[in-house]
Amino acid sequence: MSAFEQASSIERESADLYRAEVQDGWDIAGNANGGYLLSIAARALADAAGYPHPASITAHYLAPGRPGPVEVRTSRLRKGGSFATARATVMRGERPILAVLGSFTTLPERSDDPGEASATDRVDAVPPELPAPDDCVATSVGPVEGFGFNHKVDLRLHPGDDFRSTPSGEPRMRGWFRWPDESPIDVMSLMVAVDAFPPTIFNARLPIAWTPTLELTAHVRAQPVPGWLRCQFTTRFITGGFLEEDGEVWDSSGRLVAQSRQLALLPKPR
């Protein structure tokens, strides 16, 4: 079992009730990463739905995720055709910390064969251009204490988006994603990848220290093949105290495997 599989594993206690453990060390400043929390809920929902892959999944973040035991209470609303829809609440004691709604299916096995694309397929986009991983900037540096999550993922930021040296002025983050133990990227790994990068706002030259996520939706478009994920997150609208972050995640064969959008809150400037 990979480190990620172990950290996001669930145990079925009874129909519609799962137990899991939010592990220590998947946090930024004490709060568990939102994608990591989502992966726990997604595993429980996939089991409850009876299909392994979330086609579309939405989480609303209700309270910070601290290390410790959680309960995932699920309810399957519909199963039919090749999809099932289910919802979940992740509870820490009596406190809900995450509300999730998703539709699950079985995505086709992927190969590197480009000939498998259907006659109706059409892509009006290209993967982000990135220097090779070793020519990008690793974020897994600095103290583990308080920044554990940075050491649980292997992120390589595009040098032009390395806000820690020079914010680019563009609210964008581009880079590579893999697991530090190089375990295969599966569909559940995408739940983490869509929320693993630093906030786009860190490149916007605004005096903002953090942007809490209100809601995150991910569409999984295909099972990824092994290898690095190529990721891009952009923000076009910083207005009225909100900003969106649009994510694209491409696998090493050049296929879009996930799209994401989150709505985050913009605190008043310091």
Which neighbouring-strand residues pair with 172?
A: 234
Burial (CB count <10 Å: 0-12, 13-18, 19+), residue 249: buried
Instruction: Check residue 58 for interaction with a copy of itself (CB under 8 A).
Output: yes
Q: Whose Cβ is closer to a copy of itself: residue 9's or residue 253's?
A: 253
CB 136 within 8 A of CB 199: no
Q: Whose Cβ is closer to a copy of itself: residue 60's or residue 151's?
A: 60
CB 41 within 8 A of CB 80: no
Give 176's contacts (C-beta < 8 A, 6+ positions apart): 130, 133, 136, 154, 155, 156, 228, 229, 230, 231
Instruction: Check residue 239 for interaction with a copy of itself (CB under 8 A).
Output: yes
Instruction: Check residue 107 for interaction with a copy of itself (CB under 8 A).
Output: yes
CB 4 within 8 A of CB 180: no
Query: Min. distance of Cβ 52 from a copy of itself in angstroms?
Result: 15
Residue window 129-168: x/- pattern of binding to a copy of itself, with contact defined by CB under 8 A: ----------------------------------------
**Residues near a copy of itself (CB under 8 A):** 55-56, 58, 60, 62-63, 77-78, 83, 85, 87, 89, 96, 99-103, 107-108, 117-125, 171, 204, 206, 208, 214-215, 217, 219, 221-222, 235-242, 244, 255-256, 259, 261, 263, 266, 269
